[in-house]
Amino acid sequence: MEPVNVVLVPANFIEISLLEFIGERLPEAYPVNVRIDERGIRVPPHVYDKERDGMIKSEKLITYLRAVDRWRLDEKVIIIVDDDGYATNTNFIFGQAEVNGKFGVVYLARLRPYEQDDELLYVRALKEVSHELGHLFGLDHCFNPKCVMSFSETIEEVDRKDWRPCNSCLEKLFKLMAMR
C-alpha cells in the first residue's frame, strides 16, 4: 500500500522539536510519510473571534487554509497552532479536520500542562494530531476510550487514550485506503 504524504505545519510558534516528536511517531500508527514545513504559517487576524476572547473560529481557519496557494496536491496538511480554538456549537476544541479531506488543525492552548512538562505536552499533541489524521483518512469517532479516535471532551480523556488507532479502526482504515 502506497504511504500517504503528510505535512506538519507550525502556526504562531517555532518549536520544531515538538513537530519532530510527532513526525517520527506517526508512521508507527499509519501508513504515512511525514515532513515538517519549518516555514510555518501565520494565522490571519480575521479568524480570531473578538467576542470569544480571541479564540480561533476553526471553520474559518480551515476555509482560509483551503484558499492558501502553497500546498502540494498529494499531501494532507495538519496545522499545529499555539492558540485556542472553537467550532460552531462548542466551547472549545482540541482539533478539527475534514473527514476524508486534506486539512486538519490541532490547538495547543488546552493541551499545555499547568506546570511546564514538555513530554506530556508532546504526547498530548501527538494524540490530537493522530486523531485528526484518522479523520483525514476517513475514520469516524470510536467508542473504545483507549483508541485515539475516541472523542475527547476533557484533557483527562486525552490523557487516557493511546496515540494509535485500535485494531478495529486500523481495519477500517486499510479498507478505506484500498477503496481509493
Q: Please report whether residue 169 would count as binding Zn ion according to CB under 5 A.
A: yes
Q: Specify which residues 162 forms β-bridges with.
A: none
CB of 58 to Zn ion, least distance (A): 12
What sign results for the dihedral spanned by CA atoms 1, 38, 55, 58?
negative
How far apart CA 175 and CA 114 sit, in angstroms, is 40
- Of these, 79, 142, 158, 173, which contacts Zn ion (CB under 5 A)? 142
Q: 47 or 142: whose CB is closer to Zn ion?
A: 142
CB of 177 to Zn ion, least distance (A): 16
Q: Quick check: 153 and 131 in contact, CB under 8 A?
A: no
What is the pairing mode between strands 95-97 and 85-86? unpaired
- Looking at residues 57 to 76 of the shown chain, list those that interact with Zn ion (rule: CB under 5 A): none
- Of these, 80, 149, 158, 173, which contacts Zn ion (CB under 5 A)? 149
**Catalytic-residue membership of 132:** yes
The active-site residue out of 132, 153, 157, 171 is 132
Eight-class DSSP state of 93:
B
3-state helix, strand, coil in the chain (%, to 5): 40, 20, 40
Q: Please report whether residue 166 would count as binding Zn ion according to CB under 5 A.
A: yes
Q: Please report whether residue 147 would count as binding Zn ion according to CB under 5 A.
A: yes
CB of 165 to Zn ion, least distance (A): 5
CB of 32 to Zn ion, least distance (A): 17
Q: 9 or 149: whose CB is closer to Zn ion?
A: 149
Residue showing cell 479536520: 97
